[in-house]
Structure 1
């Protein structure tokens, strides 16, 4: 390590994203990108934003975008925070809410791989809570009496990489049991069949809900996310943002994101198309002998009882198809497969037939 680095750099273990390969005729089903592109209104708004005005700073309050988000969720604008992707927002969450005298952060032992990375970066003690044998969140673990209250609770819902979702009653039960802890619900995949906890925010001052435009609005390349909560929580995030980067979203991103939020028809149509493709893919995978968890996300978590997941992933890669395999204990037999278009899913299943026959 370079001797000029800060003291903590050597000990960091950065998050490793899914492979971004450059293969001919590549079918990329490993990073949960939406196969249906963004709304045409988004592209038109972004083109219009590319003008001489780029010489000017963007609106550091992002009022147009925040108002659109507030209207969609029937909230006030001071209940909305926006940032450069939900990952940046979650990083601000760690800084704003989880650095509390060494109190632990409760989170599932199997979840989004960036959470432990942020714990190491910010020095937040992680307290993993084991998922049940069926990979569901054991709500009783989060509401029990303890001597040391957690600084917060962080739940991806639907969870990644399992695709399983908690109901609103369970989320409300957790938030009610931990009034001195910030309960953060990361809803990156919620639009594909789960219920958003945004409807609970009025009842819980400690509840923060985080969304991204990367998945259901097909804007992974734009890097826009938002958080919803009561005004005092949002004010805390604003203090962190304005101490870090007052202008996280550029003029083009603000225009595109606002258009995406406002084009409800495109959003509904593409979400329903993806849900239909997911359900058909699950049936097709089961016909090939896979066992699939019931997903509420834009991916399926599946394993084959007679084939190693790593071997299947390697065989698919040889045919120009990428899926995600994790070597983590308990889930190393699973593949996380992003749902593509019906044509892409058919190509995947045809390739799987070849791989499984070897």
Structure 2
């Protein structure tokens, strides 16, 4: 999952553990139902791109009303179902979103949280002590403008989803296993070529993808949705590499 969760937990001396996903990379609901001080979910997941259904998140929230369930929805606008709709009946869910992805404002480090009045009051009380990215007027103005540009947002989001589906189909035709994605990337592996070799060869061809040399996912590549011409070039190079 997202690499900064343990970084921040360690920084503040919070005991934590990562719960492995199921073999198909879906959420291990039974394991997540075990007692804990809090639960952090990336939904859709990074780097798999798989989104959890809302009934699953609601089930986890109802397991212990005193346990915070933080839902990181950085990629939610590319196909997932937002847990915001659960807030009126789950006071222990805190939804966090960013403007770095679907709103194209990565450099401004702009994000927001949605939750019950009690949770938001708690964040407000401590934010000046823990917030590493304070917002200046320019960032706030850009954020307001981004949310006002609804037509551009819908057009861009729809195009990315369509391009993702086209790219996933092209990779499937080349023999890749492509996980179902609700993000602006796909997570894929080829049965005859290692992730490390494909990553290196694509890089030499001027095509950058993400490779994680980690257990269970070392043969996968995380491929971000680019323009249609960029996708076509990547597929052309992959056809040559897979010969």
Moved over 6 A (4+): none
Partner of 1:296: 182
Which residue of 91, 101, 117 corresponds with 1:231?
A: 117
Residue 344 (structure 1) shift: 1.1
Partner of 1:72: none
Partner of 2:228: 342
| CA RMSD of superposed structures (Å) | 1.4
Which residue of 54, 62, 65 corresponds with 1:179?
A: 65
Instruction: Name the CA distance, whole Å, in 2 between partners of 1:304 and 1:233.
Output: 44
User: What TM-score results when the alignment is normalised by the length of structure 1?
Assistant: 0.66
Instruction: Name the CA distance, whole Å, in 1 between partners of 2:195 and 2:238.
Output: 12
Matched, 1:132 2:18: no
Matched, 1:192 2:69: no
Matched, 1:329 2:215: yes
Which SS does the other structure have where 1:243 is aligned? helix
Which residues of 2 match residues 236-255 of structure 1 at below 5 A?
A: 236-244=122-130, 248-255=134-141
Q: Which has the higher contact order (CA 8 A, sep 6+)?
A: 1
Partner of 2:206: 320
- Stretches of structure 1 lacking an aligned partner (at least 5 in a row): 1-110
After superposition, give the CA deviation of every residue in 1:211-233 in whole Å (9 maximum; x if it has no partner). 00111111112210111001111
Distance change (3 Å), C-alpha of 1:353 and 1:259: same
Matched, 1:114 2:4: yes
Instruction: Name the CA distance, whole Å, in 2 between partners of 1:113 and 1:268.
Output: 29
Which residue of 27, 45, 61 corresponds with 1:159?
A: 45
Instruction: Name the CA distance, whole Å, in 2 between partners of 1:262 and 1:350.
Output: 38
After superposition, give the CA deviation of every residue in 1:257-298 in whole Å (9 maximum; x if it has no partner). 001012111111111100000000001111111110000000
Contact between 2:100 and 2:107, CA under 8 Å: does it hold in 1?
Answer: yes
Matched, 1:258 2:149: no
Partner of 1:141: 31
User: What TM-score results when the alignment is normalised by the length of structure 2?
Assistant: 0.96
Which SS does the other structure have where 1:311 is aligned? helix
Contact between 1:286 and 1:292, CA under 8 Å: does it hold in 2?
Answer: yes
Which residue of 298, 303, 307 corresponds with 2:193?
A: 307
Which SS does the other structure have where 1:321 is aligned? coil
Instruction: Name the CA distance, whole Å, in 2 between partners of 1:182 and 1:133.
Output: 26
Residue 195 (structure 1) shift: 0.3
Tell which deviates more after alignment, 346-355 or 279-288.
346-355
Contact between 2:99 and 2:111, CA under 8 Å: does it hold in 1?
Answer: yes
Residue 355 (structure 1) shift: 2.2
Partner of 1:43: none
- Stretches of structure 2 lacking an aligned partner (at least 5 in a row): none
Contact between 1:312 and 1:356, CA under 8 Å: does it hold in 2?
Answer: no
Distance change (3 Å), C-alpha of 1:354 and 1:267: same
